[in-house]
Amino acid sequence: MVELEKAWAVERKGGKLSLAALLRCRVRYLTDGAVIGGKAWMEDRLRGNAATFGRRKTPPRPMRGGVWGGLCSLRDLKKDVIG
- Asked whether the predicted pLDDT for residue 22 surpasses 80, the reply is no
Q: What is the pLDDT of residue 26?
A: 61
Secondary structure letter of residue 17 according to DSSP: B
What do you get for the CA distance between the two ends of the chain, in Å? 10
Q: What is the pLDDT of residue 12?
A: 81
Secondary structure letter of residue 82 according to DSSP: B
Amino acid at 13: K
Q: What is the pLDDT of residue 83?
A: 62
Q: What is the pLDDT of residues 33-56, one digit of tens each?
A: 777 889 999 888 887 777 776 776
Mean pLDDT over 12-41 rounds to 77
Q: What is the pLDDT of residue 47?
A: 79
> In the sheet where 61-62 sits, what is the strand order?
36-38, 71-73, 61-62
